[in-house]
Each structure stands twice: as structure tokens, then as C-alpha cells.
Structure 1
Amino acid sequence: MNDQPTDLTKTAIQSKVLHGKRALVIGIANEHSIAYGCARVFRELGADLAVTYLNEKARPYVEPLAKELGASVFAPCDVAQSGQLEAVFEQIRGTWGNLDIALHSIAFAPKEDLQGRLVDSSDEGFKVAMDISCHSFIRMARLAEPLMPNGGTLLAMSYHGANKVVPNYNLMGPVKAALESAVRYLAYELGEKHIRVHAISPGPLKTRAASGLKDFDVLLSEAIERAPIGELVDIDDVGLTAAYLTTPFARRLTGTTTYVDGGLSIMA
């Protein structure tokens, strides 16, 4: 994967179309994270950033990236821990007073539930996966709403397995389907406040989260063979799409799921 901005990215960032905007990015784990690709493009387009890290174990991997990005806010955020998400928004309120963009790029399921059949998934595993991967986005929206008096954009990360059966995606398929449905309902409920809500559905990417899926290397190889473009997407591709959805260029778009997959999702 190309860890440097592409020529297309370099061309796009010259406009600084997000200058003066304030963006929260939740979900950076390391330099290969989709969330990092989005944060990097947001920053290069002129946005100020708030960046979170999961816990003290993750902090050494995320803190250098936050410093590189010049993040104004850097805070822990484990959405499974009571009060941590709320504390992030309180820090944003105290630092900035308002918010324009909030990106949610986190998902989790216990390994035994993720790698087993859906029919065998445990009650607790399903609840945990739904809470962290879906309901935390709804909670994020609720906290962001009062900080977006002039409108804003909420973004969530999904996957094609929400709509079609992807072997070995298992438990996360129904969970991501719930997330995409939540995006649509939030778009409806928040539209009158000019808050737009989107799901982004990247093609297979080599991220730490994806490594937990069984036979993921096979999925990557098949994606290259089947995608009309014949290439895997990278985190910059996702970042550019996320940035576009936050700009006035997309001002009449909301409630959508945007695929960034080289056309893979159109193939039978």
C-alpha cells in the first residue's frame, strides 16, 4: 500500500476546501488504519483535528500520528467504557466550542464469534459487536448534534458484507447492516439541522481489524481479480471520498452508502 499521498491527493489538497473546519476522527490504531487515511486527507485539506486512541496500549502507535497531524485534541476513547466518549466531546466543546465533522471507524466482535458461524454466535458476543460497531455511532451522533448548530457531517465505516453474504464475515454482516440502517434513520432525523450522515463502504484493505477475518488473504486476492479497476483501494482513496462527502460539493447528499472498492461491489 502507498503510505504517501498520491498525485491525485496532492492535486486535491491544493484547494484547502476544509480550511477552518473541525473534525473528530475515532478509530486510528496505526498508520495503516482507514481512520488515519481519512484524518490525513482532512488535515491536508485544511481541517483542524481531534484524534482518539483506544487505550494506553494503543497510545504509542497513535500519538506520533496525532502529533504529525497537528491534532488540537488527543484523547482516549474506548466506547465500551462508560463516560469516555462523552469525555471526548466535552474536551472538544472546551477546546473548539463546535464541530463540523465526526468520523466513526471502529468495529469489534469477540474472536470466537467473529470466526464462527452466525447461527452459533453467543448472546454476549452479538451484544458487544452491536454496541461497539453500531450503537456507539448513534451515541456519537447524539453527542455531536449540539456541537453542530450550523450543520455538519457524520461518517461511519461499513463493508459490502452488510448487503451481500461474504464468506467468513459472519457476525459482522448483520451488525454492519444495522449500522447502514442507522445511517439512514439518522440522516432523516438530523436533516432538518443540516447534519448529513453517510456510510462509506471500502473494498478489502490490509488493516489490523481485517486481519481478524478468516482467510482474509484469499479475499484480497479475489478482490484484485474481480474488481473492474483491477486494483485494491488504499486508505487515501477512502480518505478522499470521506473528505468529498463533508464538502459543499456533496451538500445535497445524505443517508447514502458510498462504495470505495474499484467497482468490486457491482460484480456478481
Structure 2
Amino acid sequence: MSNLLDGKTIVVMGVANKRSIAWGCAKSLLDNGAKVILTYQNDRLKRQLEKLVPEGTPMIECDVAEDSNVENTFNEIHEKYGNIDGVVHAIAYADKKTLEGGVIDVEKDGYNLAQDVSAYSLISVSRFASRIMNPSGSIATLTYMGSTRAIPSYNMMGVAKAALESNVRYLASDLGPNKIRVNAISAGAIKTLAVTGIKNHGDLLKESKARTVDGEPVDTTQVGNVATFLMSDLSTGLTGDIIYADKGVHLLA
């Protein structure tokens, strides 16, 4: 185990299972000495996490659908564990109907839901997390290059990720005076539960692999190591940026 994050307490939001990018982030943080606190949406996901995480890992419920839930979560974290040093926000959602259709077919309710969970939640999390965050704190979220390119079948999630990346820039500006930095990791396409919700996801994964510089797909461990860097003091000069962890796919698209 490295000591890169010794003494730091990091909250990871959005772990679904062992294949999720959020778990890759959590595992890298743990391997580098951080104390990791996981949040979960509901009891079903909690039961899945209990089978996955090391015994004794703190887990706290947080459904980001309501600001009050987010506020209560970070109040509870503060009461039980004190100040924190970072947050990894790995939360995104759109309903099946919205994901399967093109943007031209997106209805208002589906649009609002995708934006609320996938983009606005970062604002809410940053607001309440920053109140209990130590100086030199770090917030990182996960995005994808469908935010700036019309990736086939990515559709509404690309629109939501564009909003998320804009949030990163404005939050970095807002929280800069508090010595808190905000960045995003643009991960390559990885076979996760989230990706399987995208229509023709197999084609997306195949095309992404073909466009990496070494012909091999990026994995959750590699993305997680970028999260560790962003949570560490090595990245104190970096804020408001999008860091690509996709083995060069964005260079060729």
C-alpha cells in the first residue's frame, strides 16, 4: 500500500458493483492509504456493497434526488467522521426510454431527470461537501467525450455530461477561494452496468477499443488511479479541468 493518501478521508458516491468505475476509484484510493466512505442510494445497493467492500468500510445512504438528502448525508458524515478531504462523484442516470431514443425524441420529464441526477447532483454534492472539507480539498466527477461529440446512441447522456462539465468549471471558480479544486475525469468506454443501458453499447465498446493508441481498452483500475491523483496533494495546481483517461480515444475521434 502506498502512503500517497495517508490521513485523507474521501467520500465515493456511485459504486454499483465490482465492475463500476466508481469501484475502480474506491479501490485505488484504498490501496493508496485513504479512508474511504461510500454512499449508496438504497438498501438493495447497500446489500451489494456489503459483499464487495472490506469489512468495516463506512457506508451511508444518500439519494441525490433531493437536496435535503445530500445535506443530511454530509451532516452525518461530519458527525461520525469529522472533516473530509475529497469526494468522487460517480452518479448519472437517465430512464430507459430517454436513453434509447435520439435527442430529438427526448421528452421534458426525461430530459429533466437526466439533468437532475447526472449534472445538478454535482452542484448539490459540492455545496454540502465543501462545508465539511479541509483546505486543499478535491472534488472529482466522471464524464465522457459524448459531451463534446455526437457519439452514436449516447444521445441524452451526452447533453447531461456537457452540463456536468460546465458545472465543473463554475464550481472550480466558486470554490477556489476555499482552496477546494473541482475536476472531471473523462473515462473511456468500459463495460459497466451503466454502459449496458445504452443502445448498441457493444458497438460503442468495440469502436472505442479500436481507437485506443495501443488497441486495448482502458480499465477501471487505470481510471481509478487518475482519481487517486486528483484526490492527492500532487494535483493542487489543477482545477476546472477535464482529464482524459481513455488511452487516447479522444485524439482520434
TM-score when scaled to structure 2?
0.96
C-alpha deviation, 1:69, in angstroms: 6.4
**Matching of residue 194 in structure 1 with residue 194 in structure 2:** no
**Matching of residue 38 in structure 1 with residue 25 in structure 2:** yes
C-alpha deviation, 1:196, in angstroms: 0.6
* Equivalent in the alignment of 1:227: 212
Point out the more displaced range, 200-209 or 217-226.
217-226
Q: Indicate if the aligned counterparts of 1:197 and 1:254 stay in contact, CA closer than 8 A.
A: yes
**Aligned-partner Cα distance in 2 for 1:258–1:182:** 15
Give the AA of the match of 2:179: H
Point out the more displaced range, 166-175 or 243-252.
243-252
**Aligned-partner Cα distance in 1 for 2:130–2:67:** 20
Counterparts in 2 of 1:239-254, with a 5 A limit? 239-254=224-239
TM-score when scaled to structure 1?
0.91
Which sections of structure 1, spanning at least 5 residues, go unmatched?
1-12
* Equivalent in the alignment of 1:143: 128
**Aligned-partner Cα distance in 1 for 2:134–2:245:** 30
Report percent identity of matched pairs: 40
**Aligned-partner Cα distance in 2 for 1:55–1:127:** 21
* Equivalent in the alignment of 1:23: 10
Q: Indicate if the aligned counterparts of 2:85 and 2:134 stay in contact, CA closer than 8 A.
A: no
**What count of residue pairs does the alignment treat as equivalent?**
253
SS at match of 1:101: strand
**Aligned-partner Cα distance in 1 for 2:37–2:52:** 12
* Equivalent in the alignment of 1:114: 99
Q: After TM superposition, which residue ranges in structure 1, 4 or more long, deviate above 4 angstroms?
A: none
Which sections of structure 2, spanning at least 5 residues, go unmatched?
none
Point out the more displaced range, 255-264 or 242-251.
242-251
Counterparts in 2 of 1:257-268, with a 5 A limit? 257-268=242-253
C-alpha deviation, 1:102, in angstroms: 0.5
Per-residue CA deviations over 1:196-225 (Å, capped at 9, x if unaligned) read 101101100011011000111111111121
What is the Cα-based RMSD across aligned positions, in Å? 1.3
Q: Indicate if the aligned counterparts of 1:49 and 1:69 stay in contact, CA closer than 8 A.
A: no
